[in-house]
Amino acid sequence: MHQTADISSFPLRGNTLDLASRCRVMGILNVTPDSFSDGGRYADPATAIAHAMRMEAEGADIIDIGGESTRPGARSISAAEEIARVLPVITGIRSRSEIPISIDTQKAEVAEASLNAGADMLNDISALRHDSGMLDCAVRHAVPVVLMHMQGSPENMQEAPHYTDVVEEVLTFFRERVAFCRTKGVAHVIVDPGIGFGKTVEHNLALLRALPRFTALGVPLLVGTSRKSFLGAITGLPAEQRLGASIAAQVYACRQGAHLLRVHDVRETRAALDLLYALEGGEVTNHAF
């Protein structure tokens, strides 16, 4: 079965999310006009809320909402614009469901508004470095925080990324950030190696192969490979045709120690994981047809 680090669960919506028995699925909901894979598709709040409900029905454990594109070359938007995009979606989901909501933002103002509206955790691609207010927000609300590694910023991160030893450098970064968060009172931290964020194809592959080393950090491990450009570089396929490669990468990440998978295709990912666990002798999920 799924191997864990020194953790088995973390709190969400007054409950706990079990991380010991299986990988959990975080469904991506980009309410942006310019995200790399689905930009503009869910910019309308009603459409976004309906998609969130669909992902929940398909087996998502968490909905991750982003109001600012972080694709390579993306430029930052104002907090006010980001809030205007995400708040109607958060409140709409929360009025219909208790599914945990993650807010994908680097801005404390957006985080504060989102948590007050019903979000349950923070997903910060800057690992709480972009806006010093993010730390205070996380501590006051006592919510889990995803710390992601990124070399540079979305605007310039893919301009010749370079590492001497990408695995050791990312691990060193997380050792420092996890220790910092613990000393500052952030009780629940998740790490994300930032596949595609300031990395070449070779860097991404090296990090995926080394995922077992990340479990030694003693915190949950989140991995996001869904539809990303390194899959296209390997397969020659555009983003909308990378489902097979995404599933392969996600199952591999799960077996290498990931606790959470951030994905676009929830139904297909859950089906792959259900079969994986059945083949390995775990609990079989029976779906009526």
Q: Is 185 helix (H, G, I), strand (E, B) or coil?
A: coil
Tokens of 223: 């991995």
Q: Are 33 and 39 in contact (CB under 8 A)?
A: yes
Q: Which amino acid is at 108?
A: A
Which residues on adjacent β-strands are paired with residue 16? Answer: 11
Q: Are 208 and 225 in contact (CB under 8 A)?
A: yes
Q: Determine whether 71 is an active site residue.
A: no
Residues 6+ apart with CB under 8 A from 82: 67, 68, 105, 107, 110
Exposure on the CB side of residue 230, measured as CA atoms within 13 A = 21
Determine phi and psi for 223, rounding to 5 degrees.
-130, 135
Note the Cα 202 to chain centre separation in Å.
21
Name the catalytic one among 85, 199, 262, 270.
262
Other Cβ atoms less than 10 A from the Cβ of 114: the count is 30
Nearest CA among 66, 88, 93, 87 for reference residue 77? 66
How far, CA to CA in Å, does 27 sit from each of 104, 108, 160, 178, 216?
12, 22, 30, 24, 26
Name the catalytic one among 24, 228, 242, 270.
228
Q: Determine whether 199 is an active site residue.
A: no
Q: Are strands 24-30 and 222-223 parallel, antiparallel or unpaired?
A: unpaired
Nearest-10 Cα torsion for 32, 34, 39, 44: 40
Catalytic residues, by residue number, are 228, 262
